[in-house]
Amino acid sequence: MTSATLQAIRYQRGSLEILDQLLLPHQTKYIPINSLELGHDAIKTMKVRGAPAIAIVAALTLAVVLVQSSTSSSLSTAEQAKQFIEESLGYLKTSRPTAVNLFDAAHKLAAGVRAKAKADGATGQDVVQKYLELAERMLEEDVKDNMNIGRFGAEFILKVWKGSEDLRVITHCNTGSLATAGYGTALGIIRSLASQKHLTHAYCTETRPYNQGSRLTAYELVFEQIPSTLITDSMASALLAQHPDKIAAIVVGADRVAANGDTANKIGTYQLAITARYHNVPFIVAAPSTSVDLNIASGKEIHIEVRPEVEVTTLRGPVVDLDSIKKDSSDVEFKKTGEGDVVAETIAVAARGIGVWNPSFDVTPAELISAIVTEKGVVLKDDGVQQFGMKAFLSGESI
């Protein structure tokens, strides 16, 4: 166990460790990822999650495997190296289906490697080197992109905000440092508003069933000392009704944005967009352009991952020392083993035998989205049009 940190991914050439997000916020433990199987499992079981982080961990897992195997005779020709990289990326892509960032990264890496393998005189080493450069660049660029998203998003909110000085926002799921290479997307906007002293309060939803909000976003908000409050998913409408003049926006991330702006994001996003529309509050999607899938015209084509039933019917966490519970405080003590480790248990929270539906994401129609904030700027809909022109925007036609 190490001290608290927001660094989800630790990478140096030849070595990758990820912060095990199944243990957060109560335990901080890094696990080494040194095989394709470990990388695939970490993504599938959500030890690492969040669209950009999934893509980067997949890319870097293969980078580590390539460095480990660099002297292997099976990678000596350019063709062999290219084939191994393509097959490995194909396997890593089967870990989670909804976030497009993984597919986008695999596509770009494979294209770069194919081009290198075709070059006159290219060796297996040259192809591996090209892969490493491309994968490592993705890690660096994600942080830069997120800082730009944060800046553009904060500027946009301040521009459209007509309320008093008490500016509050609601966010859903976790889109922060833990979901990315650093800084975050929707949470990056919150960070940016807070650092400019414009934000008085952030609300994070619990985000059932995996609790990315109560475990991860709450952890990041406390870590960053941003004034904040946790609500359950079912409290958002009541909050908006109670503070009609204080909530400046609902800000969320994205796993896949279709060409028309329809957006797949964590389950519960769609109902937040509906309540935002009802309460006349801007509903903002924050996403790097790597989350935009121009190959699909609308959200109808997005494959929504359905996760195991047991993730809804059980909860895992540290056992609370009952004597430490105070009626008016969220702070509690945990039971510890003789060695000082936290005792964790899995408990049942549903009637046995009940059927369960557990879609991990939903699709919010473009019609309900006020703006899509990317690292290249803010995408808006033309007056009277219910869709975004993502293709035109990203190709620079409407910037």
Nearer to ligand MRU, 49 or 246 (CB): 49
Q: Is 362 annotated as catalytic?
A: no
Q: Give the strand pairing for 247-252 and 168-171.
A: parallel
Amino acid at 216: L
Nearer to ligand MRU, 18 or 179 (CB): 179
Separation of alpha carbons 145 and 130, rounded Å? 22
User: Angle at CA 148, nearest 5°, toward 146 and 154?
Assistant: 100
Smallest gap, in angstroms, from Cβ of residue 51 to ligand MRU?
A: 3
Which member of 88, 171, 180, 374 binds ligand MRU (CB under 6 A)?
180
Smallest gap, in angstroms, from Cβ of residue 378 to ligand MRU?
A: 17
Region near ligand MRU per CB under 6 A, out of 177-185, 319-327, 344-352, 363-371: 177-185
Q: Decide: 217 and 204 in contact? Cβ < 8 Å.
A: yes
Three-state DSSP class for residue 324: helix
Q: Which of 241, 157, 257, 173 is nearest to 207 (CA)?
A: 173
Judged by CB under 6 A, the chain residues 349 through 388 that form the site for ligand MRU are 360
Nearer to ligand MRU, 113 or 369 (CB): 369
Binding footprint of ligand MRU, residue count (CB under 6 A): 17
Residue 255 binds ligand MRU, judged by CB under 6 A: yes
Classify the C-alpha dihedral 275-259-387-303 as positive or negative. Answer: negative
Q: Which of 13, 10, 282 is nearest to 133 (CA)?
A: 13
Burial class for 346, CB neighbours closer than 10 Å (0-12, 13-18, 19+): exposed
Hey, what are 129's tokens?
A: 């080197």
Which member of 38, 99, 181, 366 binds ligand MRU (CB under 6 A)?
99
Q: Decide: 50 and 174 in contact? Cβ < 8 Å.
A: yes
String marking each residue 259-278 x if it binds ligand MRU according to CB under 6 A? ------xx------------
Hey, what are 356's tokens?
A: 């369960």
Region near ligand MRU per CB under 6 A, out of 45-53, 153-161, 276-284, 308-316: 45-53
Catalytic residue (choose from 255, 262, 293, 362): 255
Omega within 30 of 0 (cis) for the link into 318 = no
Residue 185 binds ligand MRU, judged by CB under 6 A: yes
Nearer to ligand MRU, 17 or 362 (CB): 362
Region near ligand MRU per CB under 6 A, out of 28-36, 178-186, 238-246, 369-377: 178-186
Separation of alpha carbons 120 and 123, rounded Å? 9
Region near ligand MRU per CB under 6 A, out of 72-80, 125-133, 248-256, 273-281: 248-256
Separation of alpha carbons 304 and 287, rounded Å? 18
Neighbouring-strand partners of residue 315: 347
Hey, what are 113's tokens?
A: 């490697």
Separation of alpha carbons 275 and 268, rounded Å? 11
Smallest gap, in angstroms, from Cβ of residue 162 to ligand MRU?
A: 27
Smallest gap, in angstroms, from Cβ of residue 18 to ligand MRU?
A: 13
Region near ligand MRU per CB under 6 A, out of 6-14, 237-245, 251-259, 346-354: 251-259
Nearer to ligand MRU, 127 or 179 (CB): 179
Judged by CB under 6 A, the chain residues 49 through 68 that form the site for ligand MRU are 49-52
The footprint of ligand MRU (CB under 6 A) covers 49-52, 99, 173, 175, 179-180, 185, 212, 253-255, 265-266, 360
Active-site residue set: 255
